[in-house]
Structures are given as structure tokens and as C-alpha cells.
Amino acid sequence: MELKTKINAEDGKQDLVITREFDLPLELLFKAYAEPELVEQWMGTKVLKLECKKHGSYEFETSDAKGNVVFKANGVIHEFSQNRKITRTFEMDNVPFGVQLEICEFERVTDNTCKLNMHVIYESVAKRDQVLKLPFAQGINMAHNRIQEILNTLK
């Protein structure tokens, strides 16, 4: 089966590219990035702040069932071009991964499909490789079980 989400991370480089095609009109994909309630749902985190504009900033926070904060991240938005491009920084609190620059380009393919191209640049090769290993760390807020919850709320 063809993979819908692809990662291109070359050895010894400090960046990577994530590409994904969506069965969605471009406007809906972009909306999922721009509206806090939607970001909360698909990122599986609480959005404390999301200012979708040039020089705006954002803050995400995730707590576990006991109310302990397990993930906190923030960044600033450098470019916000409706249905086209978001350039922003991303930094997680309390982890030694540094800050990363994310360039997200949104592209229309057909009326009902679109493509996301996300170029992520890290501070160093070592930091990028650490982040690549991070999904082990994200196990707790992995969204598997959340799909059903979300579908239920939509019914």
C-alpha cells in the first residue's frame, strides 16, 4: 500500500521534509491548522493560544489523566498566508531539542484533494536525529484512541 505520509530525512542533514496528500479540499486542510478547536482535536493537545498572523505566537499544552502537564510547546509565526503557507518556529518546553523552523506549504491538487509539504529545520544534525526518535516519547499523547472519541462527538 502506498504510504500517504512520507518523510524524507537524509543522513547527516539537519532538516527533514514531511509530505502528505489529503482527501480534502485545500481550504479545509488549512482551516485545520488555523482554528484552535480543530488543532486541539487532531494534534491531541490543548491550544492555550494561537494567533494566526505574521509575528503572532502560539502555545500548546497537554495534560495526562492525573492533570500533570506532559507536553508543552510554543512558537512564533513568521508568515501566515491563507490557504498557502505557514512559517513558524516550534519549541518544546523541558526537553533538550532546541527550536525548529517549520515551513508548511499547502497546495491544491484537485477540488477535493490537496497536499501538505512541511520542511522542518533543526539546530543541528544531532538534534534532528533526537527528535526523530521522539515518537517513543509521544506514546502517551498518541492519538490512536482519540479517533473514536472524536467520531463520537461528531455523531
Q: Of 54 and 90, which has the nearer Cβ to another protein?
A: 90
Q: How far is the CB of 131 from another protein (least distance, A)?
A: 8
Q: How far is the CB of 66 from another protein (least distance, A)?
A: 8
CA–CA distance, 16 with 124 (Å, rounded to integer): 12
Residues in the interface with another protein (CB under 8 A) total 41
Is 29 exposed, middle or buried, given 0-12, 13-18 or 19+ CB atoms closer than 10 A? buried
As a 3-state breakdown, the chain gives helix, strand, coil percent values, each rounded to 5, of 25, 45, 30
Q: How far is the CB of 118 from another protein (least distance, A)?
A: 8
* Phi/psi at 112 (5° precision): -115, 10
Q: Which of 92, 91, 57 is nearest to 76 (CA)?
A: 57
Q: Of 22 and 54, which has the nearer Cβ to another protein?
A: 22
CA–CA distance, 71 with 1 (Å, rounded to integer): 33
126 binds another protein (CB under 8 A): no
**Contact window for another protein (CB under 8 A) among 23-31, 55-63, 78-86, 87-95:** 23-31
- Mutual angle of helices 36-43 and 26-34, in 10-degree steps: 90
The count of residues in the chain is 155
Q: Of 81 and 138, which has the nearer Cβ to another protein?
A: 138
Q: Of 53 and 151, which has the nearer Cβ to another protein?
A: 151
* Residues between 58 and 97 that touch another protein (CB under 8 A): 65
125 binds another protein (CB under 8 A): no
Binding residues for another protein (CB under 8 A): 3-7, 9, 18, 20, 22-24, 28-29, 31-32, 38, 41-44, 65, 116, 131-140, 142-147, 150-151, 154
